[in-house]
Amino acid sequence: MSRYQPRIDLEQISAIDVHAHIEADHHHNFALDDQLLEASAKYFRSSDNRTPTIEELADHYRSRRIAAVVFTVDASTGLGHPPLSSEEIAEQAASHADVLIPFGSVDPWRGGDAVTQARRLVSEYGVRGFKFHPSLQAFEPNDRQFYPLYAALEELGVIALFHTGQTGIGSGLPGGRGIKLRYSDPMLLDDVAADFPQLNMIMAHPSVPWVDSAISIATHKANMYIDLSGWSPKYFPPQLVRQAGSLLKHKVLFGSDYPVLSPDRWLAAFADLEIKDDVRQLILKDNAARLLRLA
């Protein structure tokens, strides 16, 4: 029996942010080392608290009548840095089930152990999905050695959310600290979406410089969605704005990338986009509510 059941009242919230990071735990452990945290903060020009606790994050969203999907990234193999505990994140989120929806993260390189952990995170901790960051985790998503993990997620009926495109982590450092952008080409996810048609997937961010690929994949694959996190809407590629308001109006999701980009900053810029009001409601809340099975 899951320890976590969401208690989100859709009538009481105005939006669902599907992309918020937990970057520190209550033991003062961090998801990234100091150099990577500083490089990311500089890239995003972030002035907010970069490492809010679960409690602070919940208060932040509750005061704005917004629900949020929260997660860390287990990149222990790719970065050689110990991960935060997805189990602890889910347990703490359960105390704020009116606004927080936990996703898990597992290191794909751990093979069968990753599959076992994923199953436990769903069955015992009630996570609704899993966050992957191919560039940080240093893996090609369409490599078949990782297919048993996707098969388990498909069987469990949870969501796989993948970072795509440019990353601010490592930005400006020599060699980008060894982080390779090509692993986050969304075309690698097209194979996964085709081979696991019942696995709902989200391509995180506008996927620059591969935004046209992301649009094509989301248009072609019924199980593929796009979240708009990590970029202020005023910088969105025009073709993404155009398709979000038409062909992809049921496939695009609000995401901020908090704490590096606050929901306040994102929503203020989004309000200036030329998008119809009914589509705006789909992007801000309705599409995510349906995908997360909250509606």
Q: Is the pLDDT of residue 295 over 90?
A: no
Mean pLDDT of the 214-218 span:
98
pLDDT digits 0-9 by tens, 122-136: 999 999 999 999 999
Q: Give CA–CA dist 55/73, Å, rounded.
A: 19
pLDDT digits 0-9 by tens, 259-293: 999 999 999 999 999 999 999 999 999 999 999 99
Report the 10 Å Cβ neighbour count for 113.
11
Residues 91, 94, 95, 99: is their CA dihedral positive or negative? positive
Q: Is the pLDDT of residue 1 over 50?
A: no
pTM summary value: 0.93
| pLDDT-wise least confident of 50-64, 138-152, 206-220 | 50-64
Structure confidence at residue 2 (pLDDT)? 55
Q: Give CA–CA dist 189/12, Å, rounded.
A: 35
Q: Would you place residue 227 in the very low, low, confident or very high pLDDT band (cuts 50, 70, 90)?
A: very high
Q: Is the pLDDT of residue 176 over 90?
A: no
Percent of the chain at pLDDT > 90 equals 82
Quick one: how far is CA 278 from the chain centroid? 24
70 bridge partner residues: 20, 102
φ, ψ at 25 (rounded to 5°):
-110, 180
Q: Would you place residue 209 in the very low, low, confident or very high pLDDT band (cuts 50, 70, 90)?
A: very high
pLDDT digits 0-9 by tens, 238-257: 999 999 999 999 999 999 99
Structure confidence at residue 101 (pLDDT)? 97
Q: Give CA–CA dist 279/250, Å, rounded.
A: 8
Q: Give CA–CA dist 15/9, Å, rounded.
A: 11
Report the 10 Å Cβ neighbour count for 175.
8
Q: Is the pLDDT of residue 196 over 60?
A: yes
Average pLDDT of the chain is 92
CATH for 15-291? Answer: 3.20.20.140
Q: Name the burial class of residue 212, with classes exposed (0-12), middle (13-18) and buried (19+) by CB atoms within 10 angstroms of its CB.
A: middle
163 bridge partner residues: 204
Evaluate the omega torsion of the peptide bond into residue 259 and state whether it is cis, within 30 degrees of 0: yes
Is there a contact between 258 and 17 (Cβ–Cβ < 8 Å)? yes
pLDDT digits 0-9 by tens, 14-62: 999 999 999 876 665 666 566 766 766 665 665 566 678 899 999 999 9
pLDDT digits 0-9 by tens, 146-157: 999 999 999 999
